[in-house]
Structure formats: C-alpha cells, structure tokens
Amino acid sequence: MVLKDVLSKETKSAFMLGNEAIVRGALEADVKVVAFYPGAPTSEVLDIFSAALGSFDYQMEIATNEKVALEVCAGAAFAGIRSLTAMKSVGTNVASDTLFVLGYTGVKGGLVIVMADDPHAHSSQSEQDGRFFAPNTYIPMLEPSSPQEAKDMVKKAFEVSERHRVPVIIRTVTRINHQSGIVQLDEMSRSEFKKVKWKELNEEYTTLGSVARQKKLRMLERTAKIAEEFDRSEFNFTKQADSDVGVITSSVSYLHVLESLKMLKLQNEVNILKLGTTYPLPKKTIENFIRNLKKVIVVEELSPYLEKELCAIAKDTNPDLKVFGKKSGNFSEAWEYNPDIVAKGIASALDLEYGGHETIVEEASRLKEGIPDRYPTFCAGCPHRGTFVALNRALKIQVAKGQEHYFSNDIGCYSMWIFPPISRGDSSLCMGASVGVANGLSHVIEERIVAVVGDSTFFHASIPALVNAVHNGNKFMLLVLDNSVTAMTGQQFNPSTEFIAGGRQGKKISIENICRAIGVEFLEIVDSYDVKSNVEVFRKALDYDGLSVVVSRRECALYGDRNKRRRGEKIVPFYVDKEVCKRPYVCLRTFYCPAYELDEDRQPRISPELCDGCSVCVRLCPLQSVKRTEVKA
C-alpha cells in the first residue's frame, strides 16, 4: 500500500494498485462518506481509506455487513453528499435488498458502488457474475480494464450519479482490483465537510405500491436517457482495422485481447470495440460497429452477458453476422481468462493455426510431479489451530461414546478447515449460513451438529439465525471463534474490536452479552490457546441437550503481532530440545503448524523465523520437549 501516492497533492504518474486508484479517484471526486465491509478483492479500498482518514475530511465506517454499508452511503446520498462503498461479488447479494430499492428511489448526492467479481473463485465461494444486478436493478454500470480507467470511471460515476439521480456500479474483477499500473494523478481539491439541513433539501425517498409503480416508469425513462448518454461515452471506443472481423470485449478481457492479437500477429487485422459502459449498453455504438462485419468474436469472462445482448442487436442490424463466443463453444463460461485462453479462442473462431500453450503446460506439469501442494493454512500462532485441536479431541472422545457429528462450517479463516491435511466440514456456504442450516438440520438428522462462525461473521449475518434457534428450541452446538478482528481479509476492525475506522476508539460489542440477552442457556467462554481444558468444555457443549454456545477467544496472531511490535515487545520463538524429544510426533500429527518441520534426523524442528511464540505446541507435547528460546538481556 503506497499511501503517499494516494494522498499526494502532486499531479504526476504513480504506480498504483487498482484498489488504490479507486480510492484516489474517489478522493479527487471529493467523496465525503465511505462505508465498507471487507472482502477480497476489495479489502484494500477499506484499508487505504482507513489509513487516509487522518489526512482528509470525510466520514468512514467499517460497517457490520455490506447491506448496512450501502445504507450508510445511501443515507448520505439522500442528503446530497457524495458517498462510496465497495464490496466483493457475494457481498452484493447481502446488499441487494437495498440495491433494488435504490433503483426506484434514486439519490441526490453521487453514490458509487464498487462491486468486485472474482472469476476463478480465487477467494470466494462462487464465480458469481454480478453484471446481471445492473439490468435487474436499473442501475447503470461501468467496467474498467486498468487502474487508470478505474480511477477515471470512479470520478465519472459520481457525475453520472448526480446528473441522473441514481447510484452507479463500478464493476471490477480480481484482475482489476489486484492489477497495478501507471496512473496519472489529477488535482486533489477537497472541500470542507459540512452538514446540510434536510428540510431545505425538499427530498423524499419512499416507494411502495402505487408510488413504486410511478417510480418504475420514471426509472425506465431515466435508463433510456442514460443509454443515449452512454452512446457518446469516451469509455466505449473502437480500434479500426481494414477487415470484416471484429472483437467486442470489456473489463480485463480487453487487455487479454490486445495481448493475444499480438501473440497471433493479428494486431492490425481485427476491429475492436471496447465497452466501458456495460449497462445500459450503448446500442447505437454496437450497431455501428457490427453493421459491416461478417464475424464478431465476443470476449468476456463468466456468463454470456454481452453476447446475448449483441445477438439481440445483430438480429435487426446485421442478421447474417456470425457470432463467436460461449454459445459457439469458442470460449468457456468457467474460470478466469488469460492471454493464452483468449488467443486460443480467437484462433479457433477464425480457423487459424494456433501453436497452443497445452504443450508447454503439459511439459511443466511433468516437471512438477511430486511437488507438495501449498494450501492456504492457519498462520503460526493462529488461535483457530488451538481451538480445532481441542475440538477434534473432544469429537473423538464423543465418537468413541457413540455420538456422531455434522460439521457446519462458515466463511472466515476457519473455512480453511476444509483443506488438507485437516479436511473437515460437511457444509460451508456463505456468511452466517452455518447457523442457518444448523437450524434445519437439527430437525432432520440424528447426529449432533456443530456450527462454527467467527466474530465478524457472527455480527455480519449469524444473529438472526441464532435468535431463530433459541426461539424455536433448536438443538445444536455453536462455536464462535472470536479473534477480535476480521482476520481473513487483513485484520480489519469489527464490532468485536474496541476500535473503528481510522483506528479511533469505538465501542466493543460483547458476543456473550448478545447470547445471554436472547436466552442462550449453555454459554461458555474459553481461551483458544488453552487446549487441554477446552476439550472438556467442548465435550459438555456436545453432550448438552439443547443449544450450546462456546466462545473461543484469543486475538488473531497477525493482529496480535502487530500490536506487540507497536508496544516494543519481542516475539520469542520456541525450540524442540532434541535430548528430550522421543519423537511421538504429537505436534505434527494433530497441530500442523507451518513453523514445524522435520530435520535430517527426522526430529521435529521449529523454524525460529516462523514461530510466533504462541506456546500451544508446548501444551500439547507429552514429553515437555518444546522450550522457550532464551533471550539475551
């Protein structure tokens, strides 16, 4: 994160991450209210705004979930204040209830929603294509292909939003948010933050029944006007060639197209239409582009969103046009693209020889045979590791007694429990769903159900499902892993932290108080590192004939390390005393800490660079062979 360039008063070229460019664009556009729930690949937008809070005059919230974040921004925009939120693909699902209504009510101040899809599901539970939200909600959408365009579009989106009194979606994909490039910084002129008088604005934002019916008509008129405007937008442009073949593309696929045409030596042989305003689509621009073409290749990741629209337009404008895309089988709806995939697709559409990348990938895979996978894993010192060792032991004892289990996992670092070598989990859906499905399962399966959520997920979407469980008398065990922060996305603050955006003091919300207030009768709070005594607590919770909640608490190791460094405390690593260790391998069989490896004598060894000094393995070792390194005074 290069905060310096984001804050810079200079107008110069800077090397910026897509997410940094988004923040810079919003600051240049004088944004006044921002709110987020973190989610890859947008989390840096939140982090940068939080870090920049001391330097500029704006209000910021790290909200409990994406819906609340959007509503915070909507509130500001109703009063004419510019606001921005950013969310990952699936976060939009949570916010969508509000999103749909905002299409009807509109806004006064510019409201920009950055929605980041994740083709390839790099860090998501699905490859959801969020573009369909735009036509569904009648909310305009812009799609950048680079950090520079992301910045330009954010600024333009505020103007479009205010001109047409409607929120605007900036739709990115992981390869935009996490793409860096050279960005031209424009002038940063910020106005003073001032409250406004609501009464003087003479605004209303209601919609229901007959009011909604009237607003629907206005929404359609608005969309037609925006479509006209988008037909003149600089974000849609063509690269002309003396040829009857064209490519229509948008987002990062545009860059892959340029690269692949270079690879195929077709750089000046194919016309390109690059679309930046993908809802409403610039129909006239598309008509003009395809009118004299014989073949069009549509290059877009995930669903055939542009392709279907294009086919509809071509039916009237150029019925003989041959369209190549997903329906024709030249491209797949699965997984993200790269230059090789796009080159192959284009070559196949044009019946060209393509050397192909399969040979090189195949040759590489032969060399790679036998190399170990590196799954995401719990960090050294992670409290979840301790919790799960204890839970596993408790489950084992229960199994021996004849009790079997269903493990309902959720979204957070603990999701990684589904990866080897742990490989545990009967289901894992989306934020808070572990508790929701536990309710249903409790009616129909004989096994004892264990549902797991983290602190951030608890506040985000689990509370309604927990209230439901208490109210209906549903029986299962809920394990809340409270590590004080939203760890998986970069240790952002949440209601379980005593801080709020910008590191300011906030009010910490007690998970156990919420449980008590709603009538949870079995409630235990344990220290995640305290493996041995936790086994007994978990066993009781499993045996309990009702809803049992255990809060396993210990701050995230990375967050804790940062705090330790700030306080000037040293992280003291442990080592295995080879004289004492008789190699029962308890550490390696159950603990799976990345700081552990075997030395040349097959003796466990702790890498001092990786050890976090958490001491949990010390508590597990039956021979007391793990010792603290002596620190020289």
Partner 1 sequence: MSLNIFICGVGGQGLVLLTTVIGNACAKSGIKVVTGEMYGLSQRSGAVSVHLRIGEDAFSPLIPYGKADILLSLEAIETLRYIEYLKKDGVVLMNKRIMHPPIETSKLITEKGSKYINLEDIVAKLKGWTQNIAVVDALELAKKSGNVRTENSVFLGCLSALEVFGVDEKSIRESISEAVPKRTIEQNLKAFSLGKQSAHDSLCTLVPCRPLL
Q: For residues 257 and 272, is the Cβ–Cβ distance under 8 A?
A: yes
Nearer to partner 1 by C-beta: 104 or 235?
235
596 binds partner 1 (CB under 8 A): yes
Nearer to partner 1 by C-beta: 324 or 559?
559
The only residue of 13, 126, 292, 472 in contact with partner 1, by rule CB under 8 A = 13
Residue type, 515: C
354 binds partner 1 (CB under 8 A): no
- Residue showing tokens 């994406």: 66
Q: What residues contact 532, with CB distance under 8 A and at least 6 apart?
A: 390, 619
622 binds partner 1 (CB under 8 A): no
601 binds partner 1 (CB under 8 A): no
Nearer to partner 1 by C-beta: 123 or 398?
123
375 binds partner 1 (CB under 8 A): yes
Nearer to partner 1 by C-beta: 600 or 630?
600
The span of 189-197, 201-209, 327-335, 338-346 binding partner 1 (CB under 8 A) equals 338-346
470 binds partner 1 (CB under 8 A): no
Minimum CB–partner distance for residue 57 and partner 1 (Å) = 27
The only residue of 8, 96, 122, 502 in contact with partner 1, by rule CB under 8 A = 122
d(CA 587, CA 144): 49
The only residue of 209, 221, 371, 582 in contact with partner 1, by rule CB under 8 A = 371
465 binds partner 1 (CB under 8 A): no
247 binds partner 1 (CB under 8 A): no
Angle between helices 89-105 and 209-230 (to 10 degrees): 110
326 binds partner 1 (CB under 8 A): no
Q: What residues contact 597, with CB distance under 8 A and at least 6 apart?
A: 604, 605, 607
The only residue of 27, 111, 263, 299 in contact with partner 1, by rule CB under 8 A = 263
Nearer to partner 1 by C-beta: 550 or 593?
593
327 binds partner 1 (CB under 8 A): no
Q: Residues in contact with partner 1, total (CB under 8 A)?
A: 72
Q: For residues 477 and 542, is the Cβ–Cβ distance under 8 A?
A: yes
The 8 Å CB, 24+ separation contacts for 356-363 are none
Minimum CB–partner distance for residue 174 and partner 1 (Å) = 8
d(CA 478, CA 466): 9
334 binds partner 1 (CB under 8 A): no
User: Which 490-519 residues touch partner 1, going by CB under 8 A?
Assistant: 490-491
Q: For residues 475 and 546, is the Cβ–Cβ distance under 8 A?
A: yes
The only residue of 72, 76, 379, 441 in contact with partner 1, by rule CB under 8 A = 379
Output the DSSP codes for 40-83: TTSHHHHHHHHHHTTTS--EEEE-SSHHHHHHHHHHHHHTT--E
Nearer to partner 1 by C-beta: 104 or 596?
596
User: Which 19-78 residues touch partner 1, going by CB under 8 A?
Assistant: 40, 43
609 binds partner 1 (CB under 8 A): yes
Q: What residues contact 15, with CB distance under 8 A and at least 6 apart?
A: 2, 5, 180, 181, 182, 183
What letters, b where the CB count within 10 A reaches 16 and e where it falls short, cover 204-230? Answer: ebebeeeeeeebeeebeebbeebbebb
- Neighbour tally for 547: CB within 10 Å: 26
Q: Dihedral through CA 349, CA 334, CA 94, CA 219, nearest 10?
A: 20
The only residue of 9, 200, 209, 372 in contact with partner 1, by rule CB under 8 A = 372
424 binds partner 1 (CB under 8 A): no
Minimum CB–partner distance for residue 400 and partner 1 (Å) = 21
Minimum CB–partner distance for residue 411 and partner 1 (Å) = 11
Of residues 465, 622, 484, 486, the one with CA closest to residue 549: 465
d(CA 559, CA 528): 15
d(CA 411, CA 452): 9
Minimum CB–partner distance for residue 617 and partner 1 (Å) = 12
User: Which 175-194 residues touch partner 1, going by CB under 8 A?
Assistant: 175, 178-182
Q: Are strands 492-493 and 485-486 parallel, antiparallel or unpaired?
A: antiparallel
Nearer to partner 1 by C-beta: 32 or 175?
175
User: Which 512-571 residues touch partner 1, going by CB under 8 A?
Assistant: 558
Q: How far apart are the first and last CA of the chain?
A: 35
Minimum CB–partner distance for residue 1 and partner 1 (Å) = 8
Nearer to partner 1 by C-beta: 125 or 398?
125
